[in-house]
Amino acid sequence: MYAVADYYQIRNLKTLAVAKFSDAGAIWCEEGFVEVIEEVYHSTPSTDKTLRDLTCQLAVEHSRKLINNAIFMAALSQQGEFATDFVHMLAVKHDQELSAKAIFITKLQDYAEINGETLQNEIQRLSTTLGIEKAKAARIRMYMLSIRDEVNSADTCRHCHVSCNALLEQIGTSDQPHLRLRCSGCNTKY
Give tens-digit pLDDT for 27-66: 778 888 899 999 999 999 989 999 999 999 999 999 888 8
The C-alpha atoms of residue 71 and residue 36 are separated, in whole angstroms, by: 13
Residues β-bridged to residue 180: 169
Whether residue 168 has pLDDT greater than 80: no
**Distance (Å) of CA 108 to CA 89, 102, 122, 133:** 28, 10, 19, 34
Residue 154: per-residue pLDDT? 64
> Could you tell me which of 163, 150, 159 has the C-alpha nearest to residue 187?
159
Residues β-bridged to residue 160: none
3-state secondary structure of 166: strand
Instruction: Answer for the pair 179, 147: CB distance below 8 angstroms, yes or no.
Output: yes
Task: Please indicate whether residue 8 or residue 119 has the higher confidence score (pLDDT).
Answer: 8
The C-alpha atoms of residue 70 and residue 76 are separated, in whole angstroms, by: 10
Whether residue 176 has pLDDT greater than 80: no
Across the chain, what does the average pLDDT equal?
Answer: 81
What pTM does this model have? Answer: 0.53
DSSP assigned state of 47:
T
Q: How confident is the model at residue 143 (pLDDT cuts 50, 70, 90)?
A: confident
For residue 41, the number of C-alpha atoms closer than 13 Å in the C-beta half-sphere is 19
Task: Please indicate whether residue 3 or residue 164 has the higher confidence score (pLDDT).
Answer: 3
